[in-house]
Amino acid sequence: MARQHTQHSLRSGLQAQSICSQVAIDELLNTAEALCEQSQSWLKIGAGNEARASSKTAITQLLTQLDAGLTRSSSSPPSASLIGGASLSLADVALACVLQPLFSCVLGPRDREAHPAVTDWMNWVAAVPEVAKVLGPLQLNSGEGWVAAPSAAAPAVTAAGGKKKKAAARLAEKEAKAAKFAAKQEAAAAKKAASAQPKEGGDKKAALKAEADAKK
């Protein structure tokens, strides 16, 4: 849909792209689609470490390409658009929709600093009233970047809670080993005591012999 409508004016009054070729628009939309696909490993739960590592590399490369291709004009926006320095288009809006969750949940401050042109552009696009009505305010991730979404089935425990659980597990294991050792010791003592007692058959033979000797 974005490809079909990029050349038309937005109903809200945003200007359509007029000086950019369809090829450039397609390239931008292809980049948006690639970013959307690669970001799933970080925005959805259940992805493996290998998949996230591969996606991180791909996302970083795409952002680097965008940063290099962004026209940074000394004049005020909307001249500083992503496509050839023209006004904001639906292609820009489509890309902003993809970048918003990355900026809010995945990229940390250092990651955004590494791509200043894209960061400046994203801040500007998010502040455009017509875009802000759809995307809402842009909330930048202030924590460490590239932290995977926590698993819903196994929520992350606090460090203190994790230490307590580990200590309890170690104590239970220690007590189990002590009980097993005590049981072995008790079994060995019982076996030793049983072997020290004379057999019942031997006692009868000794009694009969003593009785016979007494009769002599």
What CATH number is given for 2-135 in this structure?
Answer: 1.20.1050.10
The yes-or-no verdict on residue 100 having pLDDT over 90 is yes
Q: Report in angstroms the alpha-carbon separations of 44 from 15, 143, 175.
A: 34, 18, 41
What is the pLDDT, as a whole number, of residue 49? Answer: 87
Beta strands in the chain (DSSP E): none
User: Is the Cβ–Cβ distance between 149 and 42 less than 8 Å?
Assistant: yes
What is the pLDDT, as a whole number, of residue 25? Answer: 76
In angstroms, rounded to a whole number, what is the distance separating the alpha carbons of residues 54 and 59? 9
User: Mean pLDDT, to the nearest integer, of 192-205?
Assistant: 60
What is the pLDDT, as a whole number, of residue 21? Answer: 53
User: Mean pLDDT, to the nearest integer, of 152-171?
Assistant: 63
Residue 108 or 86, more confident: 108
User: Mean pLDDT, to the nearest integer, of 31-43?
Assistant: 92
The yes-or-no verdict on residue 76 having pLDDT over 70 is no
SS3 of the chain: helix, strand, coil, percent, to 5: 65, 0, 35
The yes-or-no verdict on residue 154 having pLDDT over 60 is no
Per-residue tokens: 137? 């305010």
User: Is the Cβ–Cβ distance between 29 and 3 less than 8 Å?
Assistant: yes
What is the residue extent of each domain of the chain?
2-135, 159-215
Q: First and final CA of the chain: distance in angstroms?
A: 124
The yes-or-no verdict on residue 157 having pLDDT over 90 is no
The yes-or-no verdict on residue 83 having pLDDT over 60 is no
> What is Dmax (Cα atoms) for the chain?
137
